[in-house]
């Protein structure tokens, strides 16, 4: 019997001032701040696990998290208390009791990411922390055509950055990629069963090169087949990336949203 009582949270955060998700001594991380905040409410051991290890500068609106405490407390009280003690760049969207054995990463079956690009001659006045500023006009329709080759179950090794924790299995399923333009904002949504290290940012960077006219639309298929990271484009910076939604077993896989995407 697990001696810790678990809670299932959905959180959002502005990742600008965090050194990513994963706890790291001496650095401000989302996992570390959540653990410290929960320990203020309920003294004793605190265990925090997330559905994704987002990089420094990456944001979230729907990061699924499990917090386990040594003492069971009222869920509503814990939710309100956690909202009160977490800093302003973290939002505790929801909180409920977690089933024994449930894990946000191992039980996840689908994730939806959003990448936002400010595509205009002038930088965004109020969105500089949450958009990649690209001056050159992007052909988003051309990018969408190029993205179609990435849909399905493939070996995405060409779009994985190296990491000491990288696993040998590079097979993933991408269910959808939807690229939309509304005014000066180009949004790229990607839904898949899981993603390799910096895979979404590397996909975005390659598609932007297509949108700029630096690559042919057929290049994405050739890059994918090569399984060689050297053939793909430069990865997009972290500031435009958002983890929007995570679904677990028993739920439907997320779907890309249509229309302007407000945060």
Q: Catalytic annotation on 2?
A: no
CA 132 → CA 67, 149, 183, 255, distances in Å? 32, 24, 15, 23
**Count of CA atoms in the C-beta half-sphere (13 A) of 121:** 0
Catalytic pick from 55, 74, 97, 165?
55
Are the C-beta atoms of 36 and 86 separated by less than 8 Å? Answer: no
For residues 185 and 115, give the distance between their C-alpha atoms in angstroms, rounded to a whole number. Answer: 10
HEC string for the chain: CCCCEEEEEEEEECHHHCCCCCCCCCCCCHHHHHHHHHHHHCCCCEEEEECCCCCCCCEEEEEEEEEEECCCCCHHHHHHHHHHHCCCCEEEEEEEECCCCCCCCCCEEEEEEEEEEEECCCCCCCCCCCCEEECCCCCHHHHHHHHHHHCEEEECHHHCCCCCCCCCCCEEEEEEEEEEEECCEEEEEEEECCCCCCHHHHHHHHHHHHHCCCCCCCHHHHHHHHCCHHHCCCCCCHHHEEEEEEEECCCCCCCCCCCCCCC
Which residues are tagged catalytic?
55
């Amino acid at each position: 019997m697990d001696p810790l009582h678990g809670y299932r949270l959905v959180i959002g955060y502005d990742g600008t001032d965090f050194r990513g998700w994963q706890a790291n001594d001496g650095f401000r991380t989302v996992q570390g701040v959540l653990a410290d905040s929960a320990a203020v409410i309920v003294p004793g051991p605190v265990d925090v696990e997330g559905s994704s290890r987002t990089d420094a500068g990456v944001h979230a609106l729907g990061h699924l998290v499990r917090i386990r405490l040594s003492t069971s407390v009222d869920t509503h009280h814990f939710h309100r208390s956690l909202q009160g003690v977490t800093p302003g760049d973290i939002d505790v969207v929801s909180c409920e009791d977690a089933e024994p054995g449930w894990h946000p990463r191992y039980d996840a079956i689908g994730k939806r990411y959003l990448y936002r690009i400010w595509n205009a001659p002038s930088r965004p006045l109020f969105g500089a922390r949450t958009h990649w500023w690209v001056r050159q006009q992007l052909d988003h329709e051309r990018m969408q055509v190029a993205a179609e080759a990435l849909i399905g179950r493939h070996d995405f090794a060409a779009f994985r950055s190296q990491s000491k924790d990288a696993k040998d299995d590079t097979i993933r399923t991408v269910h959808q990629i939807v690229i939309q333009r509304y005014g000066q904002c180009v949004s790229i949504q990607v839904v898949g069963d899981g993603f390799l290290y910096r895979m979404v940012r590397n996909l975005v960077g390659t598609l932007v090169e297509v949108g700029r006219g630096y690559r042919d639309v057929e290049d994405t298929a050739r890059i994918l087949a090569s399984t060689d990271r050297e053939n793909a484009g430069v990865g997009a910076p972290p500031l435009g990336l958002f983890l929007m939604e995570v679904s677990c077993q028993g739920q439907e896989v997320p779907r890309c949203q249509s229309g302007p995407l407000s945060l």
